[in-house]
Amino acid sequence: MAEDLAESFGGGDEIRFERRGAAGIVTLARPKALNAVTHGMVLALERALDAWRDDRAVELVVIKAEGRAFSAGGDIIDIYNAGRTGKLPTKFFADEYRLNAKIHAFPKPYVAIIDGIAMGGGVGVSYHGSHRVVTENAAFAMPECGIGFFPDVGGSYLLPRLKGAYGLYLGLTGVRAKRGDQCWGGLATHAIDAAGVPPLLEALIQGADVDRTLAAHTVKPEREMDESRSHAMNLHFSLGSVADIVASLKEAEARDEFARDTLDLLRRKSPTSLLVAFDQIAAGAMLTMEDCMRMEYRIVSRMLAGADFYEGIRAAVIDKDQSPRWSPATLGEVSAEAVKAHFAPLPGGELEL
């Protein structure tokens, strides 16, 4: 029997909570908005996790979504509008980052069933869980450098811990990772077919051993990236700077389709974002999740006060001309001091977790 907990945790019609058997179940419920994560959803999910952490009747948490997307990110129009009026929405990001850290540290199994695209804020509420279950419809992407932003919501912790140079490649290019590559690279822990989601959910509700239950329902998908492109990815993205990566790709582009495709992707990104993201991912490899979130809060506080994020949203979402005018416009024009400034301590105090 299901227990409806919507009034207990809030979130309105955007996110639903129920307890079924041994499971606390979260459903992202904004399918028309591709389940973009709002501030209210963040706060409601945090309340639910706080309650379920100490509730002996809840043995695990399952998060899933309605519609064809898991979650296409954060609600960037609201963020854009707030920033353009001078009211930098840092509180939203502070609350979101605290939630990401809470999911990572959650002491019970946290099972994300990802049956569609997961980007930005959608990554933050799923891929930090203990069990990341992907279907053939799943796609992971962190395209933030293309809108003058950076791979946040814990990207600095998640990406450097993937196989080889895969995390840096995903973070800089924004390329989508499908089911087979997610399992290979370490993003997903389990793969299932979409048709198997309902029986898996019913089995999890029964409260049996989570790992054993998942093992009984999973499949082994083939990789999507072939060996040639995988080798090229590791060759180029294992280098020590964005400039070195670009130079290596340029040297190979005449003979290598991967190099040509990747250069085309990087040329569309904000130069500042690429340089900040590279340093962020490199630093994150040596940091705890909590310290990664503090670092990301420093970065987001500077990017919200800058120009490229708003220009990127304008070009992608407002005017939809897909022609952002980045400032500075080239990698060579971005100073090392400007990049370093994104990581400096905040005068008003650091993110409290």
Q: 21 near 205, Cβ under 8 Å?
A: yes
Which residue among 144, 256, 279, 308 is the active-site one? 144
Q: 97 near 125, Cβ under 8 Å?
A: no
Indicate if 116 belongs to the active site. Answer: no
Residue 317 to residue 311: CA distance in whole angstroms: 10
- 3-17 burial, b if ≥16 CB within 10 A, otherwise e? eebeeebbbeebbbb
Residue 114 to residue 177: CA distance in whole angstroms: 13
Which residue among 59, 75, 96, 152 is the active-site one? 152
Residue 125 to residue 129: CA distance in whole angstroms: 8
DSSP string, 240-257: SSHHHHHHHHHHHTTT-H
Residue 25 to residue 36: CA distance in whole angstroms: 18
Q: How far is CA 298 from CA 112, 215, 302, 348, in A?
A: 28, 40, 7, 11
Which residue among 11, 24, 73, 74 is the active-site one? 74
Indicate if 75 belongs to the active site. Answer: no
Indicate if 115 belongs to the active site. Answer: no
Indicate if 185 belongs to the active site. Answer: no
Any idea what DSSP says for residue 23?
A: E
Which residue among 11, 24, 120, 121 is the active-site one? 121
Q: 149 near 155, Cβ under 8 Å?
A: no
Q: How far is CA 105 from CA 13, 56, 129, 130, in A?
A: 27, 18, 8, 9
Please list the active-site residues. 74, 121, 144, 152
